[in-house]
Amino acid sequence: MRILLGLLLLTQPLMSFGNAIQTHEYKLENDLTLIVRPDHRAPIATVQVWYKVGSSYETNGNTGLSHFLEHMMFKGTPDHPGTTFTDTIYAIGGDLNAFAAFDYTGYYEILPTEYLDTALALEADRMQNLIMTDPDIFEKEKQVVLEERRMRITDQPISLLYERYLATAFNSSPYRVLPIGWHDDIAATTLHDIKYWYDTWYAPNNATVIIIGDVQPDDVLQKVKHYFEPIARKSLPTLKPQHEIKPLGQKRVTVRVPATLPYLLMGFHTPVLKNTPVLWEPAALTLLSGILDGGESARLSKNLIRGSRIANVASVDYDPYFRDQNLLTLSGVPAEGVSMERFEAALLAQIDLLKTELITPEELERARKQFMASEIYKLDSIDAQAYEIGSLESVGLSWEVSNEFLQEILLVTPEQVQQVAKKYLLPELMTVAILEPLALYPEQNNAEPTAPTVIENKALPTNNPETHAAQPTPLAP
Amino acid sequence: MIKRRNPISRNIWWLLAIVIVLGVTSNYYFMKRMPEKTAQTPSHETSTPASPVGPVLDIQTWKTTRGLDTFYLPIETLPIVDIQLVFSAGSVYDGANPGVAQLTNQIIAKNTSQLTTDAITERFESLGAQLGSSVTRDAAGMSLRTLSFDDERSQSIALLSEVLRDIAFSETTFSLEKQQLLTQLAAKAQSPQAQSLKTFYTKIYGAHPYASPVTGTLESVNAINLAQVREFYYRYYNLNNAKLIIVGDVTREEAQQMAEQFDAALNPGEIPAPLPVVELPAASIVEHVQFPSTQKHILIGLPTMEKGNPDFFAFYLGNEILGGSGLASQLFQVVREEQGLAYSVSSQLLPLKEKGPFVISLQTRNDASVVALDLVQEHLAHFIEKGPTQDELDKAKQNISGQFLMAFNSNAAITQNIAVLAFYHLPLDYYNHYLEKMNAVTLFDIRRAFNTYVGSQHKVTVTLGMEETQPTPTAPAITQEPLIEPPVYPPQLGNASANANPLEVSAPEIIPVEPPVNPPQLDAVTPAPQHAQ
């Protein structure tokens, strides 16, 4: 181990992707962060503006504000009224869109490099001058957001399950609500709410501008200064911590909706890179996920899908790039004829195995190799690179943390994988969510026809007092 | 046990390689600038005139010793090699066994006479290689993404050719893959998007094999046996029916060696007979599918044109303006911005080997569906009659010249586009003249194309959702296929993976303001390699 460490120190400069691919970071006078990474493979560039605000900044009764605001950001400014923004980007051969997530909201244009100025001017403009006065435009957009919620959540059984799963797994943490928010909260949102959200969080000192593409850093810096430095910084509110309370027992929730496939989600509260004194734990959890689900040769495929044929689908999801403690989630579909109980037990047995037996060096090496290869493959996509930088910066870590994380990945031992399994993957504290399909066409079972608006109401309370998602959510209009 | 080198030093070597390739290179890695066209493009109102420059892909082609068609493009900037092997082996060849093309594709690279699935997957994944596979209506194939370092590259190529050369048909694997496919079908049965699209294809294609879902149906898949899969494999996965695409950090010599390895792995065989001609709908069709969703899904369209049709450019530009350009399209403006009636509304055009579909799709709450449907039909009629304005056309052309650059901004995207070119027998310089042809399109061309392919034809309208007055619901529809065709590059940021594998936890965590739309024309033959992490 000591030899390996020595080797790492010697090659420290090489370890830095920043050095390797020339990432430049700047701070403007108004505290706007600018990150530029030249990539001269094609005469295009992506311009991304990330704001440190997302659904985890919202409070009960005001969920979905960040996402709703994201929609309103396309409604124009005095200088670029109506759909001018979209039309302008379109007419210069660019593409644009935006996204809202738990911890951030982002906007991007990807366009021929020669038009970089156009995108910067537009983004700087809507950072400060968004028009939010027309109630008609606001009400129409509210209908659009509600349609989006129907399409993404209400009419998708697995999404509905996921929504109730989060609401059960988290009590005090705002991660309990999906970024789109609850139906009632969206419906009750006022123009004033959105304006307040914009005025509070959209400021240069709360934003990261990321530019990757066929550009020269000095040139980009001058341009960004020109457009963004005149924007005044704001005094930002101090975010309340809202950490998740310590789980004191197992929690379970059942979702019964018209569907054709049973589905299971099983979650364990786990640390992320932010707020952890020990970087190796997220690294060990990342490799643990790879051991279980890093491909077709990983344990869940090998043992549960092919070996015992208990599962038709089995996967693991763990993302260390959150602002606060999150979940490592196992999920899947039992094989035909296998009960949910047996499927759940088989997943737990795989977790147990991680605690009782050390993983083999070959498995660890394979997981590590896949991680390293995917880091290289990531360089083929400027979107993927920008996304990594933006998400790290937006959760309050430096983009350079990805390099440190890489080093941690190289050093993780089988013992450490065992340690995090023992410490965090505790069945007595987990959350389990199960989708129990109801017939899509109940008439065929001589039951009452399902009315369209009943769908969200079908998640019946279970008898388990731990269940938090038992309250039926509002009906869709 | 294979002797392993110190993993740490290996990993550092990769990083060193990145220093070299990204830190030093400064030329565009795949394109030369074309001479500027001056008179062709109508200048736009902005001060900068349109400059239709596009990639000149220096694609090299050859036939291997026994005649495998190979397409090669060197790109040295990243230590990556992408391989695609594409066969005319899509679901259109399913015959009496819908789903057999899909099932055959799934069992490839699972067993050889020597190796189990465990052993094969362990070997690929120990190399950091990513193996993918896919089936569309026309094509089926495999993709491999590997690091280009000697060991990783040579071992993963050797393994892929080995699993093809020595393919074994195991009953165990077959029953497992059948179960996987049935699960996928069950997952699609609960998706309103999937169900509406399935009905749409059935109705627009009638008796043509394009009508059948790529993944088959529960019934048809259940009836397939291993002998049928074996027969399908040997009939369609042959040397003469294949195109090999090699893109990335390999020399011509190395690429030739690789091609010879695949040559040796495949048997010679027949090219399938031409597909039957698509008959257009003889009358307008309106079909409702009862489904317990809060939204009504609406699809309007018909079969239109085949790949390589000279009217494509006019039809494509018209479609961009009508509904193909996301936030900027007319339908987006009329249905979403002005009326707030839908989150997602768009139109798509998908030429296939034979006449592929044109489709307008939207979703709206059940009680608004009549209004929304009227609005869209009215707008479509208006568009067919009047066409776009000159200003709209100029902007669309300008947009396409930018989108075109983005469609070639990564190795993955370039590989995909070469695969399309190879599979559909488009001229080698197809992309070099792409913008030229787009820029030559006139308003008249668009009106004529829309009138010919849409206006003067019978259309199919499918609605899916809750209809209170409907006494007897349609029998549960249980099959489906991917959204029209797998979306290509550039990959849309913030795509909440809703269109990806419906069986993954599609956590709707990241929400784009607008659902991703397909980039210009360049649709997939097979999707890019699936990324492991």
A268: CATH: 3.30.830.10
Residue A245 lies in a domain: no
List the alpha helices (DSSP H) in B76-146: 100-107, 117-126
Q: How far, in Å, CA of B159 to CA of B141, rounded? A: 16
- In B172-294 the beta strands, taken as DSSP E runs, fall at 242-248, 285-290
**A114 pLDDT more than 60:** yes
Superfamily of B285-465 according to CATH: Metalloenzyme, LuxS/M16 peptidase-like (3.30.830.10)
DSSP B352: B
B496 has a chain A CB within 8 A of its CB: yes
CB B203 within 8 A of CB B461: no
Kindly report the number of other CB atoms within 10 A of residue A336's CB atom.
11
Its domain, for residue A169, covers 21-228
CB B117 within 8 A of CB A296: yes
* Per-residue model confidence as pLDDT tens digits over B65-121: 999 999 999 999 899 999 999 999 999 999 999 999 999 999 999 999 999 999 999
- Contacts of residue A246, defined as CB under 8 A and 6 or more positions apart, other chains included, come to none
Whether residues A220 and A276 share a domain: the answer is no
Give the 3-state secondary structure of B260-291: HHHHHHCCCCCCCCCCCCCCCCCCCEEEEEEC
CA neighbor of B422 nearest in space, from B102, B153, B83, B1: B83
Interface of B with A in 343-362 (CB under 8 A): 343-344
Which residues of chain B are within 8 Å of residue A111 when distances are taken between CB atoms? 402
Q: How far, in Å, CA of B274 to CA of B380, rounded? A: 33
Residue-level length of chain A: 477
- Output the pLDDT for position B31: 41
- Output the pLDDT for position B496: 27
- Contacts of residue B30, defined as CB under 8 A and 6 or more positions apart, other chains included, come to A41, A42, B55, B57, B73, B75, B408, B414
CB A153 within 8 A of CB A178: yes
Residue A115 lies in a domain: yes
B471 has a chain A CB within 8 A of its CB: no
Bridge partners, B80 (sequence order): B147
Parallel/antiparallel/unpaired status of strands B69-74 and B242-248: parallel
Of A94, A443, A477, the CB nearest to B473: A443
Could you tell me which chain B residue has the CA closest to the CA of A335?
Answer: B179
Is B402–A111 a contact, with Cβ atoms under 8 angstroms apart? Answer: yes
Whether residues A262 and A217 share a domain: the answer is no
Whether residues A34 and A114 share a domain: the answer is yes
Whether residues A224 and A255 share a domain: the answer is no
**A470 pLDDT more than 50:** no
- Output the pLDDT for position A21: 77
**Chain position carrying tokens 């109801």:** A438
All CATH 3.30.830.10 domain ranges in chain B, comma separated? 60-265, 285-465
* Per-residue model confidence as pLDDT tens digits over A383-434: 999 999 999 999 999 999 988 999 999 999 999 999 999 999 999 999 999 9
Residue A17 vs residue A74, higher pLDDT: A74
Is A317–B505 a contact, with Cβ atoms under 8 angstroms apart? Answer: yes
Is B340–A144 a contact, with Cβ atoms under 8 angstroms apart? Answer: yes
Which residues of chain B are within 8 Å of residue A71 when distances are taken between CB atoms? 513
Q: Give chain A's domain count.
A: 2
Two tokens, residue B312: 């494509």
Q: What are phi and psi of B418, to 5 degrees?
A: -70, -35
Determine the residue type at B269: G
A41 has a chain B CB within 8 A of its CB: yes
Based on C-alpha coordinates, what's the Rg of chain A?
A: 24
pLDDT (mean) for A38-64 = 96
CB A225 within 8 A of CB A28: yes
Residue A234 lies in a domain: no
Query: Is CATH 3.30.830.10 correct for B60-265?
Result: yes
Interface predicted TM-score of the whole assembly (ipTM), two decimals: 0.88
Mutation site for B-interface testing, chosen from A376, A438, A453 by largest number of B Cβ within 10 Å = A376
Is A152–B508 a contact, with Cβ atoms under 8 angstroms apart? Answer: yes
- Output the pLDDT for position A441: 85
Extract the residue ranges of chain B whose pLDDT is less than 70: 1-55, 468-533
Give the three-class secondary structure for B146: strand
Task: Using CB atoms within 10 Å of the CB of residue A179, give its burial: 0 to 12 exposed, 13 to 18 middle, 19+ buried.
Answer: buried
Kindly report the number of other CB atoms within 10 A of residue B158's CB atom.
14
Residue A249, min C-alpha distance to chain B (Å): 24
Q: How far lies B529's CA from each of B14, B142, B161, B263, in Å?
A: 20, 9, 17, 22
Bridge partners, B242 (sequence order): B87
Give the 3-state secondary structure of chain A: CHHHHHHHHHCHHHHCHHHHHCCEEEECCCCCEEEEEECCCCCEEEEEEEECCCHHHCCCCCCCHHHHHHHHCCCECCCCECCHHHHHHHHCCCEEEEEECCCCEEEEEEEEHHHHHHHHHHHHHHHHCCCCCCHHHHHHHHHHHHHHHHHHHHCCHHHHHHHHHHHHHCCCCHHHCCCCCCHHHHHHCCHHHHHHHHHHHCCHHHEEEEEEECCCHHHHHHHHHHHHCCCCCCCCCCCCCCCCCCCCCCEEEEEEEECCCCEEEEEEEECCCCCCCCCHHHHHHHHHHHHHHCCCCCHHHHHHHHHCCCEEEEEEECCCCCCCCEEEEEEEEECCCCCHHHHHHHHHHHHHHHHHCCCCHHHHHHHHHHHHHHHHHHCCCHHHHHHHHHHHHHCCCCCCHHHHHHHHHHHCCHHHHHHHHHHHCCHHHCEEEEEEEECCCHHHHCCCCCCHHHHHHHCCCCCCCCCCCCCCCCCCC
- Contacts of residue B432, defined as CB under 8 A and 6 or more positions apart, other chains included, come to B34, B54, B55, B56, B57
Residue B129 zone, left/alpha/beta (φ > 0; ψ -120 to 50; rest): beta
Q: How far, in Å, CA of A110 to CA of A175, rounded? A: 30
Residue A238 lies in a domain: no
Give the three-class secondary structure for B461: strand
Is B176–A306 a contact, with Cβ atoms under 8 angstroms apart? Answer: yes
Residue A1 lies in a domain: no
Residue B136 parent element (H or E):
none
- Output the pLDDT for position A20: 52
Catalytic residue among A70, A109, A408, A456: A70
Q: What are phi and psi of B313, to 5 degrees?
A: -65, -40
Q: How far, in Å, CA of A309 to CA of A68, rounded? A: 44
Active site residue A58: no
Mutation site for B-interface testing, chosen from A143, A299, A374, A405 by largest number of B Cβ within 10 Å = A143
Residue B402, min C-alpha distance to chain A (Å): 4
Residue B194, min C-alpha distance to chain A (Å): 11
- Output the pLDDT for position A432: 98
pLDDT (mean) for A126-151 = 96
CA neighbor of B124 nearest in space, from A301, A417, A65: A301
Q: How far, in Å, CA of B463 to CA of B457, rounded? A: 19
pLDDT class for A216, splitting at 50, 70, 90? very high
**Chain position carrying tokens 């959702």:** B465
Q: Does the N-terminal peptide bond of residue B490 adopt cis geometry, omega within 30 degrees of 0?
A: yes
A283 has a chain B CB within 8 A of its CB: no
Residue A25, min C-alpha distance to chain B (Å): 17
CA neighbor of B526 nearest in space, from B194, B133, B210: B133
pTM, rounded to two decimals: 0.86
- Output the pLDDT for position B147: 96
Which residues of chain A are within 8 Å of residue B492 when distances are taken between CB atoms? 97, 383
B371 has a chain A CB within 8 A of its CB: no
**Chain position carrying tokens 């050369």:** B165
Two tokens, residue A85: 């923004």
Give the 3-state secondary structure of A97-148: EEEECCCCEEEEEEEEHHHHHHHHHHHHHHHHCCCCCCHHHHHHHHHHHHHH
Q: How far, in Å, CA of B318 to CA of B446, rounded? A: 6
Whether residues A156 and A266 share a domain: the answer is no
Is A381–B412 a contact, with Cβ atoms under 8 angstroms apart? Answer: yes
A65 has a chain B CB within 8 A of its CB: no
CB B498 within 8 A of CB B192: no
Whether residues A169 and A44 share a domain: the answer is yes
* Percent of chain B as helix, strand, coil, to the nearest 5: 40, 15, 45
Angle formed at CA A350 by CA A345 and CA A356, multiple of 5 degrees: 115
Query: What mean pLDDT, rounded, does chain A reach?
Result: 89
Is B395–A87 a contact, with Cβ atoms under 8 angstroms apart? Answer: yes
CA atoms within 13 A on the CB side of A88: 21
pLDDT class for A126, splitting at 50, 70, 90? very high
- Output the pLDDT for position B513: 54
Q: How far, in Å, CA of A424 to CA of A430, rounded? A: 9
Could you tell me which chain B residue has the CA closest to the CA of A3?
Answer: B8
